[in-house]
Amino acid sequence: MADHPVDEKLPALKMATTGLQHVAAMYAGVVAPPLIVGAAIGLTGTELTFLTGACLFTAGLATLLQTLGIWKIGARLPFVNGVTFAGVAPMTAIVASTDDRNDALPVIFGAVIVAGLLGFLAAPFFGKAIRFFPPVVTGTVITLIGVSLLPVAFGWAQGASPSADDFGSATNLGLAGATLVMVLLLRRFTRGFVKQIAVLLGLVGGTLLAIPFGGTDFSPVAAADLVGFPAPFHFGAPQFQLAAIISLCVVMVVSMTESTADMLALGEIVDRPADERTIAAGLRADTLGSALSPLFNGFMCSAFAQNIGLVAMTRIRSRYVVATGGGFLVLMGLCPVAASLIAVVPRPVLGGAGVVLFGSVAASGIRTLVGSGLEKDNNVLVVAVSLAVGIIPITAPEFYHSFPQTARIVLDSGISTGCVAAVLLNLVFHHLGNGSREAADVTHPMEAGEEITDGAKAPATP
């Protein structure tokens, strides 16, 4: 019997290029949290480079653990792990509440260790929730993942920083558009291997195109060291403070919820649906990777939804491709020069490619919803309300501004709120009371219905 595409081992060159494509897709997401937190602490340029390299290194280790797996740890799916952005706000809050900024990272690392270990113990219980994620729920969540990520791509397309003079300039938007067009043309008019690495080629082409416009900065390469290692506890031994631990335990719950949704989404895309055992093993990899990450000066790790879009678009489902990408991340953590090469890619170029990647995730969700039974009223309500709740943080970012910061960790994540809403509504309409009975068919808006005349209802003519 032939191996499932998830377990397929591709030729070395193809494995390397497609793995590098995954690194390019998620690089900006990995380096953003350490840059933001490091800037809040006031780290020097050298320390900031060290912290960023450490996060790349630990993201690579977590990805290898997730894709290759050991014992009952690892989903063994093409699943990329990296620093979760959900922890940025509470980590900066921890920094602000720490009297001595030199203690900020040790306090954060101590809280991440505890949250990771507790999450590891809770993983099997999350795995048992699989029966509450039918297609109407998973399709909604997959769609929200794509929709929630699209604003990230739009932000990248405008430039590296909102405070920059050229943020949102015609040049930046033009570079993003040109990259998008290159990816689309390569996908339309090429075949085979070239077609599969269209995103990587688009990133290279966009980077070269940006050179005449001064959009490509090679200074990170010149300033980077050839060899470096994230020495354990470089910033000091971990410290354990209750408030910080509670805050990051909340983040861990959010992270595990999103990872569960991501695994369900990825399972549908690669035609290997994630069952209870897979979810539990994947969450063990997430949480163990998070618990070990502070040892090498890294932050909490979680699934990277943007890479699901890459799998959906390229149809390369091999977990060994993503494991190769994890290997590249480890090397980047050990070789700052290698890490700096990805940093050369201008943010607008990443934004142009991101439109394709993240849009592909949303399209995959819509495809799942098509087969989820939307001819039933109850399912339509589950999808309608869940999408509305999940889109709130995107369309109205300050909607929950009056809530406590701890609550906003969950509420400001459209993926988390939409996922919770979908699960709860599915419980109400399909599991509680009479909800398990079949709902009535939805009347199509273009079909003849009941006509209302003078306050009385008259039957529609056939």
Q: Which pLDDT value is given to residue 130? A: 67
The pTM assigned to this predicted structure is 0.67
Distances in Å between the Cα of 165 and the Cα atoms of 144, 160, 161, 177, 261 are 32, 10, 9, 20, 38
Q: Which pLDDT value is given to residue 459? A: 43
Q: How confident is the model at residue 447 (pLDDT cuts 50, 70, 90)?
A: very low
Q: Phi, psi (5° rounding) for residue 97?
A: -90, 0
pLDDT in tens, 218-273: 776 777 677 777 788 888 899 998 878 887 887 787 778 778 878 888 888 888 88
Q: Which two tokens stand for residue 131?
A: 């029966």
Q: 68-73, long-range: CB within 8 Å, 24+ apart, which pairs? A: 68/319, 68/323, 69/281, 69/285, 72/277, 72/280, 72/281, 72/284, 73/281, 73/284, 73/285, 73/288
The residues with which 226 forms a beta bridge, in sequence order, are none
Go through the chain and tell me how many residues it has. 462
Q: Phi, psi (5° rounding) for residue 394?
A: -80, -45
d(CA 79, CA 308): 8
Q: Quickly list DSSP for 240-277.
A: --HHHHHHHHHHHHHHHHHHHHHHHHHHHHTT----HH
pLDDT in tens, 310-340: 788 778 888 999 999 999 989 888 887 766 6
Q: Which two tokens stand for residue 98?
A: 């720490």
d(CA 189, CA 217): 31
In one-letter notation, the amino acid at residue 241 is: Q
Give Cβ neighbours of residue 394 (< 8 Å, ≥ 6 apart). Answer: 147, 148, 151, 414
Q: Which pLDDT value is given to residue 443? A: 43
Per-residue pLDDT, averaged over 184-210, amounts to: 83
Q: Phi, psi (5° rounding) for residue 4?
A: -65, 145
Q: Phi, psi (5° rounding) for residue 301?
A: -105, 150
Distances in Å between the Cα of 225 and the Cα atoms of 49, 68, 340 are 10, 30, 10
Which is nearest to 299 in space by CA: 21, 452, 25, 111? Answer: 111
Q: How confident is the model at residue 194 (pLDDT cuts 50, 70, 90)?
A: confident
Mean per-residue pLDDT of the chain: 81
